[in-house]
Amino acid sequence: MNVDVTALPGIGVRKDFEVRSGRRIGVVAHRDGDIDLIVSKMDDPDACAAQIPLSTDEAAVLANLLGAPQLVAKLNDEHSDLPGITTRQLPIADESPYEGRTLGETAMRTRTKVSIVAVMRAGQLHPSPGPDFTFTSGDVLVVVGTPDGLDAAAKILTHG
């Protein structure tokens, strides 16, 4: 899929792509750091039907929402020939007992036999986090294991 990059003199840069419906969706990265999510009109790809300003935190959350499912889908495809192996996204919520604590403190592998293969944070992928990786609220963990192990991991991240 091609992403078109258009300089907007005095404003910043527009990056967008065409979706199946024929509309274009993308972002405008302003020179001052502001970010807008944009959607074109159906009949005019250069005219904006919606423009939604996003804070840096909101843009990071949107990136996590879009990035983690793609990674999970790819890993599920790669594990499709391995019966009993599943990939799931598990969030670190504000109230998680592991918010601000390290992966090692969860003893996740020992307790559940699952592996945390990546963490999505603020739109950035952190592959193969080590035991000293500190979780923060909003992180989305990509976890691989058996369905029972994944259920147990979700409970640990929620209740300790």
Q: Are 40 and 46 in contact (CB under 8 A)?
A: yes
pLDDT in tens, 37-72: 999 988 887 888 999 999 887 887 787 677 666 666
Please state the domain extents for the chain.
4-76, 86-159
pTM: 0.58
Q: What is the pLDDT of residues 142-157, one digit of tens each?
A: 898 999 999 999 999 9
User: CA–CA separation, 102 vs 78, rounded Å?
Assistant: 28
* Separation CA 147–CA 139 (nearest Å): 21
CA distances from 23 to 12, 26, 47, 111, 120 (A): 21, 10, 10, 47, 28
Q: Judge: domain 86-159, CATH 1.10.1060.10.
A: no
